[in-house]
């Protein structure tokens, strides 16, 4: 099992040890002791799961303080391009973003702490995504940023005309106007 740092301070990629044989595979997707040994001590209280078809983009989402959430995201089926944006004004990587492919084949997971916006786009025919949350969903704390904000200039790996976004996400504000109390 390994935790790999990213260029965004606090965001880690977790690659579990996968045991494969002719019958299939087995791995621990989460083990509190392993994470504590890696320096992470989270109290995950909620799991969320979604299924989306090719081209569906969900995000960029986050919750404001005091209800901000740390998330750990993985893919059960299919493949996504996962994007994380640093929205912490005092961070050295403020407004920077990273992307990583998460898939049911590579078993990678991304650990996203509070103070980051998160979104993903489905690059396979469909994808089932699950994420653990530290903190419960709170509608009054919901916030987000438009996926196509020119200031962030995120490369979603797909032509904009092929991207499917919910009405709610299409109406999110651009970065400059987005609520932020980090």
Residue 25, C-beta contacts closer than 8 angstroms, at least 6 positions apart? 18, 19
Is 54 marked active-site?
no
The answer to whether 105 touches 22, Cβ cutoff 8 Å, is: no
Instruction: Compute the distance between CA of residue 130 and CA of residue 21 in angstroms, rounded to an integer.
Output: 25
Helix (H, G, I), strand (E, B) or coil at 169: helix
The catalytic residue among 14, 62, 118, 131 is 131
3-state helix, strand, coil in the chain (%, to 5): 10, 45, 45
How many Å separate Cα 165 from the centre of its chain?
16
Spatial CA neighbour of 87 closest among 48, 107, 50, 61:
61
The yes-or-no answer on residue 131 being catalytic is: yes
Alpha helix positions (H), 16-82: 32-37
Which of 30, 54, 61, 94 does the annotation list as catalytic? 61
Nearest-CA neighbor of 85 among 76, 94, 74, 75? 94
- List the catalytic residues: 61, 131
């Amino acid at each position: 099992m390994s935790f790999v740092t990213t260029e965004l301070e606090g965001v880690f990629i977790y690659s579990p040890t996968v045991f494969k044989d002719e019958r299939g595979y087995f791995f621990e997707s989460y083990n509190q002791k392993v994470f504590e040994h890696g320096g992470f001590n989270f109290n995950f209280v909620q799991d969320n799961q979604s299924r989306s078809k090719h081209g569906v983009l969900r995000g960029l989402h986050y919750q404001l303080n005091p209800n901000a959430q740390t998330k750990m995201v993985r893919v059960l089926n299919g493949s996504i391009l996962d994007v994380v944006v640093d929205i912490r004004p005092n961070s050295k990587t403020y407004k920077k973003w990273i992307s990583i492919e998460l898939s049911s084949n590579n078993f990678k997971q991304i650990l996203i702490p509070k103070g980051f916006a998160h979104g993903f786009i489905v690059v396979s025919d469909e994808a089932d995504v699950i994420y653990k949350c530290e903190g419960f969903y709170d509608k009054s704390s919901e916030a987000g940023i438009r996926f196509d904000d020119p200031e962030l200039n995120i490369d979603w790996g797909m032509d904009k005309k092929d991207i499917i976004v919910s009405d709610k996400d299409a109406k999110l504000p651009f970065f400059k106007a987005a609520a932020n109390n980090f």
